[in-house]
A and B are shown apart, each in its own frame.
Chain A
């Protein structure tokens, strides 16, 4: 009965969403709402955990920005214990997928989280919203979204979402259209005023043209960017401007180690080693280990990368980090037949021992 149940409202998506969230809080259906808000400073956004229904008026559901990857914030909230009462979390599909991976690695808990997601139109790089052209950029979000978003074919949330708000669609919609995927979602919708509940076509039918365009963009991205196959020299060149700020790692929702392997005394190059290498080669880039760090991260993260683009967004020297990760993830995930965030029961490949595997790439 739930399949393709749709809540339809004649008022705008923004208004419908805010009323829905207010209802959830006021009826104590949830204790809190996890969503994007604009801060006191214009153009600056943050995720917030909201308990006061009157503050829902400040929520900007699925505003095209990603100041922090939602999974990272949710992991922060639930890493020591799950929520003991329901919370409604507004998450983009790549944020849900990343959070599912977090949960698999004991970095958070999905318990009591009511997920409201969307067909995602993508987000705008933070840097484009800081300058004077901000208003112009916001008026044309589609032309200004991240590279990663432009090439994202996983913009429809998976099985973990309780609701899917149609934001991206081939044809503009009148009013709000929200798909209900769980009993809870239907119960919530039934209590919601001024809306009708109907059966709709599967959400994929509303976005088939978009999927085609995104698929094309993904192909182009995979074709155009350098990959390990292009040789070490191209990787050296690609990361040559890296200033070692590690923003990519800190912003990545999947890089969850308290202390990164490349910062440990075990892995960091000793002063003696660096000096000996410099003497042996005649010249050595210092601090050493730029490429080791990037390749290490690529190795650890590519099987579970959800292609959110956050790493490129924070890079102060505009290295196309996420393009590289998307390419690597595409190859690695395909060959491991593992798709991060798709199913909570799939075990992460790096945590799974299979005696006979990957024979095609062994000598």
Chain B
């Protein structure tokens, strides 16, 4: 099966499910990407079945992160049941955002799929025919190439590998939806799980290599300074990040402004000071705030106009911080956020 066909197949199965669920009134609305003008794929909130005509649940690119789109209208519980069709990393971020009280998941069902990954926005802009291909990592965004959480997220997941072509329920909520759609099928999922574990192992290798390369290229504080030397302070990484939800970022607060004399003082210390200032403070601050909930979606890297490997850097930091707190972003809605949890006894190894 070619990559185009597999995306087509996924799209048609997902649309069938959505149509059935919306048409029968089991759900009140659905959030799904649709095909817009000029080869664009905006998220759409649909309550009218006929509007599903333009739906493309698995587009070749990620324009806006699904969890961010979901958070834009679900801070309060929705009146009817909502089905959100999204990629695994989007479902994980939705779980994180629910913990951060930006999404109320009470009436929401998350439907995911075996994700082939996405094409970089810039490359898709030049050639709108590129298809994301699992087997050709060079078609994928760097973060997708090394993604190890590409399946089995949310309440249900469409499995199309290992000989399957069925929706696998992952939670009671997912179970109930399949039940009410009359789609519940007993089937052997062992080959699919084997596929996932095989690809997972390949991806782990890619991930380790990528981390090694990053560490070599950008070692220590000096390395970080170099990594971010091309930063133009456009803050797109922050704006497109599903986890960065503050209305006003700490870095933009008025009380953080410095007088001209302070910039001069900084300049005198080393002969010259870079402007805009505080590039590294911003990025390290973001890492400190985000890395525990980072789902390695790569939105930041895709949006960066200066081609900084920012997604890989934040993801690498996230590997370390989540390990430290034994936390896995988006995997379990019951796990409390480490930064919201006070323990009297912890992290003694970091004390003086």
- Chain A contributes a number of interface residues (CB within 8 A of B) equal to 74
Residues of A within 8 A of B303 (CB): 243, 245, 247, 316
- In this assembly, does B17 line the interface, its C-beta being within 8 Å of a C-beta of chain A? no
Shortest Cβ gap from B102 to chain A (Å): 11
The answer, yes or no, to whether B239 is at the interface (CB within 8 Å) is yes
> What size tier do the contact residues of chain B reach?
35 or more
**Which one of A67, A77, A240, A271 contacts B74 once the chains associate, using CB atoms below 8 Å?**
A271
Nearest-Cβ distance from residue B20 to partner chain A, whole angstroms:
18
Q: Is B343 an interface residue (CB 8 A)?
A: no
User: A284 interface residue, CB < 8 Å from B?
Assistant: yes
Interface centre among A41, A43, A236 (most CB of B within 10 A): A41
Nearest B residue to A278 via CB reads: B45
Taking CB as reference atom, which chain B residue is nearest A79?
A: B257
- The answer to the question of B230 belonging to the interface, with a C-beta cut-off of 8 Å to chain A, is yes
Is A127 close to B, CB under 8 A?
A: yes
Interface membership of chain B positions 62-104, coded 1 if the CB is closer than 8 angstroms to chain A and 0 otherwise: 0110001110111110110000000000000000000000000
A227 within 8 A of B: no
Report how far A159 CA is from B306 CA in the complex, Å.
Answer: 34
Docked complex Cα distance between A250 and B63 (Å):
19
Q: Is the CB–CB distance between B46 and A278 below 8 Å? A: yes
Chain B, residues 235-259, CB within 8 Å of chain A (1/0): the string is 1100110000001100011100111
Counting chain A CB atoms within 10 Å of each CB, the highest count among B47, B226, B268, B277 belongs to B47
Q: A68 contacts B232, CB within 8 Å?
A: yes
B327 CB within 8 Å of chain A = no
| A259 interface contact, C-beta 8 A | yes
Provided the pairs A51-B268, A258-B254 are in contact, do residues A279 and B305 lie with their beta carbons within 8 angstroms? no
CB-contacts of B25-52 with A (<8 A): 29, 31, 34, 36-40, 42-48, 50-51
A317 touches B (CB below 8 Å)? yes
CA distance A145 to B74 in the complex (A): 44
- Asked if B64 and A244 sit within 8 Å, CB to CB, the answer is yes
A44 sits at the interface (CB 8 A): yes
Chain B, Cβ-Cβ closest to A313: B305
CB of B46 within 8 A of CB of A245, answer: no
CA distance A46 to B230 in the complex (A): 8
Please give me the residue from chain B that is nearest to A245 by CB atom: B236
A336 interface contact, C-beta 8 A:
no
Closest chain B CB from A238 CB (angstroms): 8
Contact with B along A68-92 (1 / 0, CB 8 A): 1000110011111111100000000
User: Is B233 interfacial (CB-CB < 8 Å)?
Assistant: yes
Judging by beta carbons under 8 Å apart, are A41 and B72 in contact?
Answer: no
How distant is the Cα of A302 from the Cα of B265 in the complex, in angstroms? 37
With A46-B274, A77-B275, A247-B303 in contact, is A240–B42 under 8 Å at CB? yes
Residues on A with C-beta less than 8 A from B50 are: 282
A91 to chain B, nearest CB (A): 12
Q: What CA separation (Å) do A263 and B253 show in the bound complex? A: 14
Least distance between B180 CB and chain A CB atoms (Å): 22
Q: Tell whether A362 is near chain B: CB-to-CB under 8 Å.
A: no
Q: How far is the CB of A126 from chain B (nearest CB, A)?
A: 6
Indicate if the CB atoms of B43 and A285 lie closer than 8 Å.
yes
Residues of A within 8 A of B240 (CB): 243-245
Q: Which residue of B lies closest to A238 (CB)?
A: B38
Which of B63, B69, B305 has a CB less than 8 Å from the CB of A127?
B305
B333 to chain A, nearest CB (A): 20
Shortest A69–chain B CB gap in Å is 10
Asked if B271 is at the interface (CB within 8 A of a chain A CB), the reply is: yes
* Stretch binding the partner chain, chosen from A7-15, A31-39, A216-224: A31-39
Report B97-124 CB contacts with A as 1/0, cut-off 8 Å: 0000000000000000000000001100
Is the CB of B138 closer than 8 A to any CB of chain A? no
A41 surroundings in chain B (CB, below 8 A): 226, 229-230
User: Given A50-B267, A274-B72, A287-B68, does the pair A246, B235 have CB atoms closer than 8 Å?
Assistant: yes
* A286 interface hit (Cβ, 8 Å): yes
Question: Which A residues from 215 to 242 make CB contacts under 8 A with B?
Answer: 236-238, 240-241
A44 contacts B305, C-beta separation under 8 Å: no
A192 to B38, CA, bound (A): 57
- For B305, list chain A residues within 8 Å (CB): 126-127, 247, 313-316
> What residues of chain A lie closer than 8 Å to B72, measured between beta carbons?
269, 271, 274, 286-288
A240 lies within 8 A of B37 (CB):
yes
Q: How far is the CA of A123 from the CA of B70 in the complex (A)?
A: 39
Which residues from A are CB-within-8-Å of B257?
A: 76, 79-80
Docked Cα-Cα span, A247 to B305, in Å, equals 9
B76 to A272, Cβ gap below 8 A?
Answer: yes
Given contacts A72-B276, A316-B303, A241 and B63 within 8 Å (CB-CB): yes
Contact A73:B275 (CB < 8 A) given known A84-B260, A313-B305: yes
Known contacts A243-B64, A283-B47; 16 further A-B pairs (Cβ under 8 A): A37-B272, A40-B225, A47-B276, A68-B275, A81-B259, A236-B37, A238-B38, A240-B38, A240-B40, A258-B252, A278-B29, A278-B73, A283-B46, A285-B44, A286-B31, A315-B305
A sample of 6 inter-chain contacts (CB < 8 A) reads A40-B225, A84-B261, A127-B305, A240-B36, A245-B234, A283-B34
Closest 6 CB pairs of A and B: A282-B48, A52-B271, A283-B51, A287-B72, A245-B236, A274-B73
